[in-house]
Every structure is written in structure tokens, then in C-alpha cells.
Amino acid sequence: MKQDSKKQNPLQNQNPPGVFSGSPMQWLIALLASWVASKYSLAKSEKKNFRKQYWSMYQSGQREILRLKKSGLLSNGFEEALDAYKQIIDSPHVNMHPELPIGHQIITRGDIGSSYIIFSDQHIQYSGHRQDLFRESGNQQLYLEIIEKYYDDGFTLVENGDVEDLVVHDPDHPMTESDGPNFKFSCWESHQSWREQRRHWQLTKILEDENNQPLYRMLRKFQDDARLVRTAGNHDYPLQGGGCLEKMREHLGDSFIPPCDYFLLGDAEKRPEIAIAHGHQFDTWNMSPFAGIGGEAVTESLGWAFTGPDRFWDWDPHGMHAMGIKGFNNELVSDQAPMTFIRKLLSTIGIEANIPSIAWEYYGGRGPLMATLTQILSGKQGVKFRHLNEILLCAGLKERFTTPPTLILGHTHEVRHLSTSHKKDQVDWYINSGAAGRFQNLIWGVEVVNGKACVVGWSREAGPGVGKPIRKVFQATDKGDGRALIGI
């Protein structure tokens, strides 16, 4: 697939601006970051290299994102993404859009009358990877049992992006002796070359891992029956072509169809009724052409040292959600943190805090300060950043459509259905499938049967690894402090 290099790389191979030649405050922030990371996955022996190389790459990306934000390119990119989606929906006979931005080009279509189960964000890794949480948590075995049932029931499996995680690497496992702990970040051009090699190597490790074979044998059954659809996420988009696609076909067969950007359900002659996409297309940190110095840079430089691509929920803090005892937040959110006193103070001393919104409601009502002190800094619970401005997304689509088609996304790791906006208006055409790999013993999904969609959650009622999978349908309710999804 030919890609427009001007759209893909706004940096034009600029070098990093020398993070550690700056103020002492930069050193203090780097020291604090490495100290917090040591509470999670960062080993003591890795702290120096973390500050010298990985934090340097992170800061370089942050500076470039700030520059792009000030220039208006980020907001323009968001509007372009909304316009691209509108063009796709209004073009029922077109399955390739090379003129549109990357992430909006490849379309696959399906019959609205069939049955589909949609899962996203498994973040599969290989054994021994420090972020192999999908398997180690028991979710991979749970997922296997669930999709076996859906296979027997005749469903088509839609894996909606970020299935294999090719972005979060483990420095303990270098491709060569000169890689890993001796990782050097010099410029974005050379780093992109390293990325391509590393991601192909990591995919090979994942696909050839003996512990992953039962899952891939099951996926092969769906594939052989033409009942497997994949969309591309920001952690697995290399599967759309090149060596990664070839490697995938070695394991799932030559008929494996490359992940699409959108999977559209409806009459082939009319506007689709349902659109399924991963969702990073509307995330200013992860949409092309900014992902390489935005979301991907953050995840590569920091994710491996903390809890992977995002916070991981152990069973203990979220079990009540899975059991339907406590509601899961169902209000649309913004990814932009409010301009607090601390952010204003940092700005006055020359530090512009380019910080996304944090989901403080997941910390047991402790509030930002107490949650930080008792949960985040102690290593008990990682930071949950917002990945998408759902408020702007839904408002922008409402401006472009009289009645928007149902849009089903993943990416945020936060489930949504019949959500309310900041104006308390209910949005009945936006659904989020949550995540299959970020909540221990809770796998979120969306079922679509005869054009009707519902959010489901699967878990083992007696706890991780104990008992048979139990399915609950999650419905919107006003129970509790606000709009919530409750399992029944």
C-alpha cells in the first residue's frame, strides 16, 4: 500500500533537542519517573539507562507534540480524521481510500444479518516478557474458552486491534547482543528502522511461543471457516503488510486477510449501519502522522517499565464491576487534563505539562492526591490515562451526520454503551468494547446479532482461574453517582 510520506512524517527526521542539557528540574523529573517505575517493572540495574536513553526519547517526543499542538496541526489532524470517516461512510462502493490519511484507507464489509463477537486490546506477548499479563493473569485461557463457545454458536470473531502487542518491548530480551540495555536513541529516522526490525522479531516470538499455540490453533479454525476479521490497532498495524503480514500467514494460512482500518456492516448498496474500528484514528497522540513521536514513543520509552500499554486492573479492585455489584463509568470523557494550579505553576517555570487526563474515579474515591500517594507511588495501581476525547468525537460526528451510524471502537480500554455526554444527552450510536487483556478475569466484548449490539463481560465467578466462564450483559443505568454500566 503506497503511503504519502508527507502525511506520515511531519518531523522530517529532526534530531532530539538534548533533554539533559536543560535545567536541573529535568533531572529531578527523570529521577522521580525512574523511582516510580522501580515500583512496577523497572529493575534497579536499569535505572541509569532508563533516565539516559528512554526518558530522553520520551522528552523528545513530548517537545515535538507540544510544537505540533501550538502550530494547530494536532487539532487539524483530528478534524481530518472526522472528515475521513464521513467520506468512508458516504462511499458504500469504495473499499480502498488511498487519498485519505493512514488509518482510514482499508475497508472490509460484512453482512448485517450475521452474528459477530467483537473483542479488542488483548495485548498478547510471548512467555518471559515482563508485560505478558494477558497470559499470566489467566485471561488468555479464559479468552480461549470464550471464543470456542462463540465458534460453536456460529459467530464471526472480530478482533478489533491491539491483539498482538508489537510496541511494548522488553529490554531484557535484545534481538542481538548490541541491542537492549545498550539501546541508543539518536534520531527519529534511525529509531524507525529499529522499530521495524524489533516488531517483526517480537511478532515471531509471539507466534512461535508454545504457550500461545492453543489460542492460534483456535484462531486458525475461525480463519479456515472465513469467520475471522481483524482491524488494525496502534500496537499491531504492521500486520497490514510487509514481513509481519507474511509471518502471520505462516501461522494462520495464506488466506489470512490483512487487518482493515474499518469493518462496515450493512447492505452493500447503502450506507453502513455499523462501523467497527480500533479507535486510535481519533486519538491525537496515536493517529498518523503523529503516533511515532506521540503515543508510540510514550509506550516504547515508558510502558515496558510500568504496566505495559496502560494500567492493568488486578481482580481485587474491579471484581465488583465484573460481578455486577458496582457500576462501571459510562459517561463520555475528555483526554485533556484540566488546567490545575500545579500545571499553571509548572508553566511559570518553563515546564509545559503536556499531560492527558487521568481517570481518578478508578482509585476508590480517594481523589487525585491520595490516589497518587497511596496507590500510584506505592506501586499498587498504575496510572490510567485517557486515550480518547469521546466528548469531541461524538460532538464532531453529530455535526457531520443527521443520524450517525453506530460506531464501535476499542483502544481506550473503557467500555461504553448508551453513554451520556457532558450535557447529559444520551449517545445511542457510540459503543466501546473495553478490553480483553487489561482487566484480570474480566473480558469485555460487544455482540452484534441481526444488527443489534450489546456489551457483554465474561469472567469466572469464583475468581481468576476457578470455575467456568460466566457471561453478563452490561446495561446502562443511573445507579450510583452517575451514569454507569451494570452487569446482569
pLDDT in tens, 342-357: 556 555 555 555 667 8
State pLDDT tens for residues 57-105. Answer: 888 888 888 888 888 888 889 999 999 999 999 998 899 999 999 999 9
Can you give the pLDDT at residue 366? 80
Quickly list H helices, 90-212: 133-136, 139-152, 188-208
Largest CA distance in the chain: 62
Q: Kindly tell me if the per-residue pLDDT of 140 is higher than 80.
A: yes
CA-to-CA separations, 261 to 46, 229, 285, 335, in angstroms, rounded: 37, 11, 17, 22
Can you give the pLDDT at residue 325? 82
Question: Counting Cβ atoms within 10 Å, is residue 219 exposed (0-12), middle (13-18) or buried (19+)?
Answer: buried
Task: Please give the full DSSP string across 425-455, using - where no structure is assigned.
Answer: -EEEEEEEE--SSSBTT-EEEEEEETTEEEE
The CATH topology of domain 73-287+307-335+386-487 is Purple Acid Phosphatase; chain A, domain 2 (3.60.21)
List, edge to edge, every strand of the sheet that includes 452-460.
228-231, 156-160, 115-119, 443-449, 452-460, 469-477, 484-487, 328-329
Whether the model pTM is above 0.85: yes
Per-residue pLDDT, averaged over 282-296, amounts to: 89
Lowest-pLDDT choice from 19-28, 47-56, 67-76, 478-487: 19-28
Can you give the pLDDT at residue 23? 58
Q: Kindly tell me if the per-residue pLDDT of 3 is higher than 80.
A: no
C-alpha span between 5 and 3 (Å, rounded): 6
Please, which pLDDT band fits residue 10 given cuts at 50, 70 and 90? Answer: very low
Can you give the pLDDT at residue 224? 96
Can you give the pLDDT at residue 406? 98
Element (H, E) at 265: strand 262-265
Residues of the chain with pLDDT > 90, as a percent, come to: 63
Higher-scoring residue by pLDDT: 478, 334: 334
In this structure, the number of other CB atoms found within 10 A of the CB of residue 275 comes to: 22
State pLDDT tens for residues 350-381. Answer: 555 566 788 988 888 788 889 999 999 999 99
Can you give the pLDDT at residue 303? 93
Higher-scoring residue by pLDDT: 171, 81: 81
CA-to-CA separations, 262 to 39, 71, 84, 275, 393, in angstroms, rounded: 39, 29, 11, 7, 16
Q: Give per-residue burial for 91-122: e unless 16+ CB within 10 Å, then b.
A: ebeeeebeebbbbbbbbbbbebeeebbbbbbb
State pLDDT tens for residues 407-442. Answer: 999 999 999 999 987 767 889 999 999 999 999 999
Contact 206, 164 (CB under 8 A): yes
C-alpha span between 218 and 261 (Å, rounded): 23
Can you give the pLDDT at residue 109? 96
Residues of the chain with pLDDT > 70, as a percent, come to: 88
Q: What is the mean pLDDT of the chain?
A: 88
C-alpha span between 412 and 334 (Å, rounded): 11
Which residues pair with residue 458 across a beta bridge? 443, 471
Per-residue pLDDT, averaged over 132-153, amounts to: 98
Per-residue pLDDT, averaged over 167-178, amounts to: 84
